A and B are shown apart, each in its own frame.
Chain A
Amino acid sequence: MRVLVCAKQVPEVTDVQVDPETGTLNRDGVASILNPFCEYAMDLALDLKKGMDDVEIVVLSMGPPQARAALMRCLEMGADRAILVTDRRFAGADTWATALTISKIVEKLDKVDLILVGKHAIDGDTAQVGPELAECLNIPQVTYAVGLELDEKRRRVRVRRETDRGHQVVQMRLPGLVSVSKGAALRRVCSFQDILEARRKELITMTADDLGVDESELGLKGSLTQVVKIFPPVEREAGRVVDGTNPPLAARQVVEFLKDKHFV
């Protein structure tokens, strides 16, 4: 059985700002990490593999050459092999062009039973590439998973998913795609041994030439949406700050404020 995890390298988003003068994104000196929700997808893949020797976890990342670091992290966590999908011709891809590109790679892999993705990446926050990928591959999907179970015949998975009202349990035929919103509660620290082993695992690179797709379908050219402007969000004006070392005094000031605003 083959499980494919799609992973994305993202900037530590709290450090990304728009330069108010030039209106461009300032990412200088911002650290890159493996998207936390992709890490959760890895957690569920590793859970599934537990006690099953014939499950292979392949991890794929589309991004700049530096995205290799995110793949190494997945290999250290326990993925079996990795594919870096990188090419300048992919630059500027929107969610559609990204999904199409990844789908072409998946079609090249021999038989994938289950695809696990993070529910969204913390930089783009779109949650679109997973479902668009599933549609490109004509396979079913379950989104916002917090856990999954394989049936005995390995033809279906039972997925527990978050909704805005609570949880659902959904059964899905394989092959299929699951987007993951929660993983392991405690993160296992990778050992020195894990790091050494990861370095010995296969990590191949694929480019636009490996896809067999017209260049007009890739990157910015193949994108259906265009970002025309970025700008900093409008900030609220800060109000007054009260010293809370004397709780009764501070509380009274807040109550006065709430009275003025007719909340009390």
Chain B
Amino acid sequence: MLVVDSKACTGCKLCEKNCPFSAMIVVEGTAKALENCTLCGACMNVCSEHAIQIERAQASPEELARYSGVFIWAECEEHGDRLVPKKVVLELLHEGRRLAEQLGEQVKVLVLTDGRPVDLDPLFAHGADGVIRYENKLLDRYSTDAYTTVVSGIIAAKKPSVFLLGATPDGRDLAPRVAARLKLGLTADCTMLEINEDRQLVQTRPAFGGNIMASILTPFSRPQMATVRPNVFQVGDAAPGRTGEVEDFEVTLNKGAVRTRLLEVEAVVEEAVESIENARVIVAAGQGCQALENLSLIRELAEELGGSMAGSRPIVEAGWIPHTIQVGQSGTTVSPDLYIAVGISGAVQHVVGMSGSRTIVAINNDPEAPIFKVADIGIVGDAMEILPVLIREIREAKAAA
């Protein structure tokens, strides 16, 4: 229920201007919500007098059961003049499809654009039943305020039972904003999702740097919201030609409600992160590589195997490589076919980001290094002595083949 404190309200009409659904009006100097109010919270967020409160009473199980649909935020990236959904969106679709089928519900994708065309075919091909599209030129770049208002508006109006976002920097910026605006439970950075016998979403995630796993429920609020770690779930097989309906959503978005402005964008090597997210082979360097110059050997080995270079947190902190190719809990999670860890001790925060790799090779001079506990084959020795020989041997093996 939306309550206006008539003493505090100054009749400034900010809420009227910023209501996504044109459901607020100011009558005789006081704000009032109309019947089409969705309780999306945009008015509360812009009210400088704190005159608007939304009382969200705990919903009964019957009310919760009325929420239906697995919704996914399609975070996009620019490819020329088109917007293309990120890989994590396809991973979420595969997982969301599985959950929706268990629930007997539909999968819908939220697509926000400034008007540039968005590739919708891959969304349908990977399992979406429908797309809810919203277009506004204020959405040319991600901003917390604009995206929160639009996404909260759609969620409040459509009432899905599950809402998933990729645990990317922007996904983890947006999800808690939307959750707090709508007073929804939210679980961060999940690596496992299941539906239990009570039709609840069981959200499992690593905590304490990867030392423990925790399974979490959201019993009292809908949708059940979770961000999901990229590169943990598979991208399923595409079903080309599969289609669905596209609904254009209508909400108002006011420029004044966007309180940040993007001034500059500096891309590190544009391909950097994509290269480790999609690489079949990764050669990762750690502190044991001793000096920046030695990274040329890592790069050489990666090239020889048709892979990409990555690294652990200490060498990012040392400024040897950009944070975009950092593997681990505070970097990117990867699951290539082959992961070669060179001079990486294997702290739990690193291992949690690469233990999904199919094959792991480790080179480290400390026989006690925890990396050997996860490696399929490990060499105890000086990486800088071994690498040149290893590169030469691989070249010879390739030449012989």
Residues of A in contact with B (beta carbons under 8 Å apart) = 11, 13-14, 16-18, 25, 94-96, 99, 120, 122-132, 134-136, 138, 140-144, 158, 162-173, 176, 181, 223-233, 235-236, 238-245, 247-248, 250-255, 257-259, 261, 263-264
Contact = CB atoms under 8 A, between A and B. Distances in A.
B264 interface: yes
A123 B183 contact: no
Given A250-B379, A261-B338, A168 B188 contact: no
Contact of B389 (A18, A120, A166, A248): A248
B9 interface: no
A228 B386 CA distance: 47
Nearest to B148: A135
Nearest to A132: B180
B376 interface: yes
B373 A94 contact: no
B179 interface: yes
Interface stretch (B101-109, B130-138, B156-164, B206-214): B206-214
Contact of B373 (A236, A243, A257): A236
A226 B180 contact: no
Mostly, the A contact residues are mixed
B26 to A, nearest CB: 19
A240 B169 contact: no
Nearest to B191: A233
A132 to B, nearest CB: 4
B45 A135 contact: yes
Contact of A126 (B189, B270, B365): B189
Contacts of A144: 169, 173
Contact of B393 (A18, A229, A252): A252
Interface string B169-193: 1101101110111011111110000
Contact of A122 (B168, B209, B323, B337): B209
B359 A261 contact: yes
Contacts of B375: 238-239, 241
B292 interface: no
B12 interface: no
B47 interface: yes
A41 to B, nearest CB: 15
B87 to A, nearest CB: 11
Contact of A244 (B177, B220, B382, B398): B382
Contacts of B211: 13-14, 16-18, 232-233
B217 to A, nearest CB: 5
B207 A123 contact: yes
